[in-house]
Amino acid sequence: MPPDAVSNQQFDAWYSTHNDWLQGWLRRRLGDHATAADLAHDTFLRVWVKSQSNKPPEVNEPRAYLTTIAKRLMINYYERQSLERAFMVTLEQLPEPLVPSIEEQVIVLETLHELDVLLAELPSRVRSAFLMSQLEGVTYEEIAARLHVNVRTVTRYMAQGFRQCLRLMLASD
Amino acid sequence: MKVDNHSDEQLTSRVIDEAADWLARMHSKNLSDAEKNAWEQWLIQSAEHQRVWKNAKLLVDQFNRLEPKLGMSVLDRPRELASRRRFLRAVATSLFIPAATWFGVQYYQANQTNFYRTATGERREIILADRSVVVLNTATALNVNFDNLQRLLEHKTGEIFVRTAPDTHASSRPFLVETDNGRMRALGTEFVVRHSDTGTRLSVFEGAVEITTRHSQSRIIVESGQEVNFTARSIDAITPIQSGAGAWRNGVLYAQGMRLADFTKELARYRPGLLHCNPAVGELRVTGVFRLTDTDTVLRLLADTLPVTIDARTRYWVTINPRQEI
């Protein structure tokens, strides 16, 4: 089969042919019916967004293409779950005046998720240094002492952190 | 989208590298005047420099409005999936859609609604499809939902100023602001809505607004120059607008004999982290007009004019204490 750009018609055809199959594929991996249906929906949504871009992807093998996207979404889903768990655990430990209101919690969680995506690919030491500075306002000297590196390395970590976040924020799709 | 434009991508990538270096330097210490000049020269080079810098500010704002302890333990948690993620990345690189992830919230709601929010200390003006103007004060979240039947603002948290425009739509749709506590219907008008855990406050500057509370369905019309607090079940007595109620639109906090405890609470809304007032000095009075864009200066000013000291454990944890005379 020759490679094809995804057209609107083709999108419809893919959806009716592969949706059930993709849901089954996800269900076997996640063990959860509702989540599988959600992620299958999100997968097709991404395919649709891609197909509307100036440069729609060329696809040889629809099912391989779909599962590649679905895998990425599955990882995001697990990361999101681990983020939400950490969030709930931390909320319980916070002294009462620091606990955000219910409305704020929704916004805080969304902010955390957005930042989490940006920071995900950083090496853990770089991420820790970056967060100490951005969240706690710790000086580079103190970060250097905590991580047992010199201040120049901390400056490098910081630049790396900013670079990574800005790249993802500004990436043209 | 400019996937094909290779040189544009190279420019962006270079500007990002430079911006990252500047940011890393700025966070280590205060820049000298010469460095500040160099940075300003860098920034005015092109629109691309400014676009990148705008994103950098957005990023720093996002961090600033997180509670430090909460942010640390969530974002710095151990990542058990890191290695698996790197493995799969090789497969998925070509498909990764970071922009869609970042703008995820907006994307899903782009269909008929728009979601707006401001960071702590940020103020933002938006012009709606019908030319009504909404100004979002610090730490505010708002859904704008216009359809054929109504113009609806779902006010989640924070404070907004609204100046409605007459509807050009054929059916002349009502203009509504909704909070947890009820619904406000604008009757040709300028008003401020402030919404927090404790309730909603409506201050009307021009025209009139009708309130319907969510649970008790009580109704009341608030006229120009009046102000009222309400919850889902009850409406307080209407009072004249306090002077300075809408001053935040000009970026200032207006205080006339305000209790320091109340003043601190107000100021804290514009400042990331915690700002507390020791009850021992809570009854001191504050008078003046204060710029909200620089809360550090406001705090210094307090220490200069009142018998208090500003104790900062970190820049996110500040307490106003009585001054100890030695």
Report for A23-32, A95-104, B22-31, B276-285: range of highest mean pLDDT: B276-285
B93 CA: distance to closest CA in chain A (Å): 10
Strand positions, DSSP E, A35-117: 58-59
ipTM of predicted complex: 0.76
**Is the Cβ–Cβ distance between B211 and B202 less than 8 Å?**
yes
What Å distances lie between residue B55 and A116, B72, B238, CA to CA?
Answer: 16, 22, 43
What average pLDDT does range B51-62 have in this prediction? 91
The CATH class that applies to domain B247-322 reads: alpha beta
Q: For residue A5, which of A39, A38, A53, A42 has the smallest C-alpha distance?
A: A53
- Decide if A170 and B117 are in contact by the 8 Å CB cutoff: no
What pLDDT does A163 receive?
95
Q: Which CB contacts under 8 angstroms, 24+ apart, belong to B165-170? A: B165/B130, B165/B131, B165/B132, B165/B133, B167/B130, B168/B130, B168/B131, B169/B130
Task: List the structure tokens of B242.
Answer: 């306090």
- Once rounded to an integer, what is the mean pLDDT over residues A70-81? 83
> What sign does the dihedral A78-B70-B195-B314 (CA atoms) show?
negative
Could you tell me the CA-to-CA distances from B99 to A152, A173, B107 in Å, in that order?
Answer: 32, 7, 10
Q: Please choose, from the candidates B112, B187, B217, the residue with its C-alpha nearest in 3D space to the C-alpha of residue B154.
A: B112
Interface A:B, Cβ pairs < 8 A: 207
Confidence at residue B281, expressed as pLDDT on a 0 to 100 scale: 94
Torsion of CA B138, B139, B143, B144, to 10 degrees: 10
Burial class (CB in 10 A: 0-12, 13-18, 19+), A93: exposed
What is the per-residue pLDDT for A100?
A: 81
- Residue for token pair 């100004």: B135
Q: Which residues of chain B are within 8 Å of residue A103 when distances are taken between CB atoms?
A: 141, 156-157, 180, 197
pLDDT of residue B124: 85
What is the pLDDT, as a whole number, of residue A33?
Answer: 84
Average pLDDT in the A36-50 region? 86
The Cα A68–Cα B49 span in angstroms is 35
**B1, B75, B88 ranked by CB distance to A173: nearest:** B1
Q: What is the pLDDT of residue B104?
A: 30
**Nearest in space to B144 (alpha carbons), one of B159, B126, B158, B161:** B126
Please identify which residue in the block is written with the tokens 């974002």.
B75
pLDDT digit string (tens) for B88-111?
A: 443 333 333 333 333 333 322 223
Instruction: Report the range out of B91-100, B229-238, B242-251, B316-325 with the highest average pLDDT.
Output: B229-238
Residue whose pair of structure tokens reads 């440069």 in the numeric block? A55
Which chain A residues have a beta carbon less than 8 Å from that of B11? none
Give CA B42 to chain center in angstroms: 28
Predicted confidence (pLDDT) at residue B161 exceeds the cutoff of 60: yes
Using CB atoms, pick whichever of B76, B80, B117 lies closest to residue A131. Answer: B76
Least confident of A70-79, A87-96, A157-166, B163-172: B163-172
Q: Which of A1-5, A104-108, A161-165 has the lowest mean pLDDT?
A: A1-5
Percent of chain B surpassing pLDDT 70? 85
Summary mean pLDDT of chain B: 82
Whether A5 and chain B come into contact, CB under 8 Å, resolves to no
Can you list the domains of chain A with their CATH numbers? 1-99 (1.10.1740), 121-173 (1.10.10)
Report pTM. Answer: 0.47
Mean pLDDT of B234-260: 86
pLDDT in tens, A93-130: 888 777 888 778 888 888 898 899 899 889 889 999 99
Q: How far apart are CA B136 and CA B158, in angstroms?
A: 8
pLDDT for the residue B265: 92
Domain ranges of chain B: 6-64, 112-240, 247-322
pLDDT at B169: 67
Report the pLDDT value the prediction gives residue B273, as an integer from 0 to 100.
Answer: 81
Higher-pLDDT residue of B237, B84: B237
CB-CB neighbors (< 8 A) of B66 in chain A: 108, 111-112, 115, 135
Mean pLDDT of B233-258: 86
Strand ordering across the sheet containing B274-277: B274-277, B317-322, B308-314
CA–CA gap between residue B86 and residue A170 (Å, rounded): 21
Q: Which of A3-12, B1-10, B40-49 has the lowest mean pLDDT?
A: B1-10
Q: What is the pLDDT of residue A4?
A: 53
d(CA A65, CA B106): 26
Q: Is B257 left (phi over 0), alpha (psi -120 to 50) or beta?
A: left
Using a CB-CB distance cutoff of 8 angstroms, which residues of chain A are in contact with residue B314? 136-138
According to DSSP, the residues that pair with B255 across neighbouring strands are: B288
- Residue B5's pLDDT band (cuts 50, 70, 90): low
Task: Please answer yes or no on whether A90 and B74 come within 8 Å at the CB atom.
Answer: yes
Work out the pLDDT band at B1, boundaries 50, 70, 90: very low
Chain A from 44 to 73: CB within 8 A of any B CB: 46, 49-50, 53-55, 57, 68-69, 71-72
Which has the minimum average pLDDT: A16-20, A145-149, B108-112? B108-112
Rounded to an integer, the average pLDDT of A155-159 is 95
Q: Which two tokens stand for residue B272?
A: 């990331």
- For chain B, give the percent of residues with pLDDT over 90: 39
Task: Give the model's pLDDT for residue B99.
Answer: 34
Q: Three-state DSSP class for B132? A: coil
Reported as a pLDDT band with limits 50, 70 and 90, residue A9 is confident
Residue length of chain A: 173
CB-CB neighbours of B7 under 10 Å: 8
Per CATH, domain B112-240 is 3.30.200.20 = no
Q: What 3-state class would DSSP assign to B318?
A: strand
How far apart, in whole angstroms, are the C-alpha atoms of residue A63 and residue A60? 9
Q: Where is average pLDDT lowest: B55-69, B85-99, B261-275?
A: B85-99
**Structure-token pair, residue B115:** 């979601």
B189: Cα separation from own chain's centroid:
23
**Closest CA relative to residue B43, chosen from B21, B25, B19, B61:** B19
pLDDT score, position B131: 78
pLDDT at res. B107: 29
pLDDT of residue B326: 58
Residue-level pLDDT at B249? 84
Interchain proximity A134–B60, CB inside 8 Å? yes
Has residue B7 got a pLDDT over 80? no
Which residue reads 């609806």 in tokens?
B152
